[in-house]
Amino acid sequence: MARDAQTEEEAVHVLSAGDVRSSRTPMLLGLVLFLAVGAFGVWVALTDPFEGRGAIALPEPAAGNLLGAGFSFESTETTSAVEAWTVPESAPSGFAFVPEAAASGELGALATPDPGSWSALLAREPVRLGARGGTLRYGGTSDSDDIQLWLRFEAPGRAPLDVAVASGSGAISGLVGVPPGYTTVRAGVRALGPGGVDDLDLRRTDDPAGDVRKSAIYDVVFVGNGLLLMRGNEVQLHSMGLTVAVGGEAPWPAGVGALPGEQRVALPDGTRVAVESAVTEDGPRLVLHRTLTGLPPGATVVGTARVSGALASQAIGVASESGFADFTGDFDVEGVRSLVLGRTNDRIVFDLAGPVAVKGTGQPDGSVVLSIERPGVNGQTLSQSLQTSFQAERVEAAQWRDQALADEQAGKLGAALAGVERVLSDYPYDEQILADAALARARLVGDMTTRLDTMEEDLEQALFLASAQRCREVLEACLEQAEAYAGSEAEVRFRELADSVATRAAELLEQDRARRERSLRAVRDSFAEFGGYDAVAAEIGRYLDRYLAPATAHRSGTGAGTATATGTSASAGDGADGDGEGDGDDGAPHDDGAPDRGESP
């Protein structure tokens, strides 16, 4: 019983317990949840299932870093890398913000461009520089030699100015001077192949940047294998350095392939071309020497420069193998030796170590972009000079101009043409002297062209009339003009025409010789047949053999044309003068009058 009583009591407890559980369900569920959360916290602390993410302290920018919170590509409650960085319009692709590229913190920037392509990032917000100028140091941490750090300087009303600053793997950095007149800067990153970068740092420094030279009214700053030409607070020319194209493929844009850390230029196929640069002074000239090694076969070296400000508002002079010309619009010229910018007081001449091909393309902002192409030669040193002072050259140019004008007055047209050509090609320093030389050249060339055209018309007329006499007159005129234009290209053209005249005249003279020969032979044969006149027939025969024998052995080549015509002239002339029988009507072309009988050029 007693047991029965105990069993009943336990059952009731169970029931009671069951009753109590039924009536207190919410409270029990809360207790269970509390215990579960506590157990989960202990598990997280012991196992770190999120790989320590909760324990990472996001990096803070070092004091003086002008990039602020966006320097490390992190995403927080208030900022994100996507909001701080953008992909430039010119870039084929951008970067991803992933843990794999992090040097510190949680995220870094990773690029995976397609083969032969490249990626870029640019800070959305510019950093204000004010009017201080000075020098900037820009660096970061890279895991690839294909990473390049670059800066974009900006100012209202000016074209952006991009400068490659540093490249390589590990901790990289470089210096760049703030170009005068530019008020803000934006940090950029490029990848010429797969690679990651993190922890960028942009700050002011008192360290000097670049090789700065003074040239008359200009300051010249050599940056890498390019330069900045500045006047006051205005950049008037930015030479962006060299790129390389192979096999007809377009090169990367200027500056994209620059690797300042290696002093190399990267090609789309991964080839690295070393560019060793040095600057020397040669009197009033600053000379930039660039030696390229590692160029592949068939490479084309391309230089790019932007002309801005006051220089872009004036015509760009181009001195080439065909002379000097001014351009105010787009242009494309082969065989260029030098570029001439500005006017007398601010004139600049760039000797391009040509001949090279130059294209000029006007931009919406008023600047002009120049593309300079030349065949690449491995190991070749390009020594291009910049000159801004020309007093001695102006004196020499004036002397050449004055002598050329004097030669023109004296009828020495070849010497005159050579003189003005030299002014236009070698002395493009003073616009008035250039204008005088260009006017004289146009006058001389125009006169030469008119004379050539007239003589070609006279020759056609002589041939149409089958007149050897007329050909002789044209030949004499050609030789006279060749003498007048001696020493110039015009002389060659006149002598070529003279050879043509002589050759064509020789054909006419041969026809005339054959006609005269037939006539005299007929006379000789008639004397021989008549009888009693053998001595006369023999004399005519000797004359035929001596003066009217064919001269075919001498007719070959351009020079031979003149010799043949001259030799035939003697024969035909003697024949006509000796017997007066040269006008037999045998159907051969000839003149009606006597002046050309026996005469030839």
Listed in sequence order, the residues at least 6 apart from 194 whose beta carbon sits closer than 8 Å to its beta carbon are 111, 112, 113, 144, 146
CB contact at 8 A, 279 and 229: no
Over the stretch 231-271, which tens digit does the pLDDT of each residue have? 887 888 999 989 999 987 888 998 999 999 999 999 998 89
Q: Say if residue 468's pLDDT is above 60.
A: yes
Q: Which fold has domain 212-389?
A: Beta-galactosidase; Chain A, domain 5 (2.70.98)
What gap in Å lies between CA 325 and CA 335, rounded to an integer? 13
Q: Say if residue 597's pLDDT is above 50.
A: no
* Dihedral sign for Cα atoms in the order 279, 280, 281, 285: negative
- In 3D, which of 437, 431, 371, 360 has the Cα closest to residue 400? 437
- Please give the pLDDT value at position 56: 60
- Please give the pLDDT value at position 205: 92
What gap in Å lies between CA 95 and CA 192, rounded to an integer? 12
What gap in Å lies between CA 541 and CA 526, rounded to an integer? 12
What gap in Å lies between CA 14 and CA 564, rounded to an integer? 143
What gap in Å lies between CA 166 and CA 188, rounded to an integer? 11
Q: Say if residue 289's pLDDT is above 80.
A: yes
What integer best gives the mean pLDDT of the chain? Answer: 80
CATH architecture of 60-209: Sandwich (2.60)
What gap in Å lies between CA 463 and CA 406, rounded to an integer? 38
**DSSP notation for 276-345:** EEEEEEETTEEEEEEEEESPPTTEEEEEEEEE-HHHHTSPEEEEETTEEEEESS-EEEEEEEEEEES-TT
pLDDT band at 13 (very low <50, low <70, confident <90, very high): very low
What gap in Å lies between CA 288 and CA 285, rounded to an integer? 10
CB contact at 8 A, 442 and 430: no
Q: Averaged over 570-575, what is the pLDDT?
A: 37
Using only C-alpha atoms, the chain has a radius of gyration, in whole angstroms, of 44
Query: Crossing angle for the helix pair 413-426 and 391-409, nearest 10 degrees?
Result: 160
pLDDT band at 551 (very low <50, low <70, confident <90, very high): low
Highest mean pLDDT among 81-85, 281-285, 465-469: 81-85
What gap in Å lies between CA 472 and CA 74, rounded to an integer? 91
- Please give the pLDDT value at position 34: 54
Listed in sequence order, the residues at least 6 apart from 553 whose beta carbon sits closer than 8 Å to its beta carbon are none
What gap in Å lies between CA 287 and CA 276, rounded to an integer? 14
Extents of the domains making up the chain: 2-47, 60-209, 212-389, 391-453, 466-579
Here the tokens at position 12 are 């009731």
Strand order in the sheet with 108-111: 96-98, 108-111, 195-205, 135-142, 170-177
CB contact at 8 A, 467 and 596: yes
The larger pLDDT score, comparing residue 235 to residue 463, is at 235
For 94, phi then psi, to 5°, come to: -115, -155
Q: Say if residue 29's pLDDT is above 60.
A: no
Here the tokens at position 141 are 């941490």
Over the stretch 319-371, which tens digit does the pLDDT of each residue have? 888 878 889 999 999 999 999 998 877 888 999 988 999 999 999 989 999 99
Quick one: how many helices (H) and strands (E) in the chain? 11, 26
Over the stretch 173-225, which tens digit does the pLDDT of each residue have? 999 988 888 999 999 999 999 999 999 999 999 887 777 888 878 888 887 77
Query: Measuring CA to CA, how many Å separate 252 from each of 28, 182, 391?
Result: 70, 26, 40
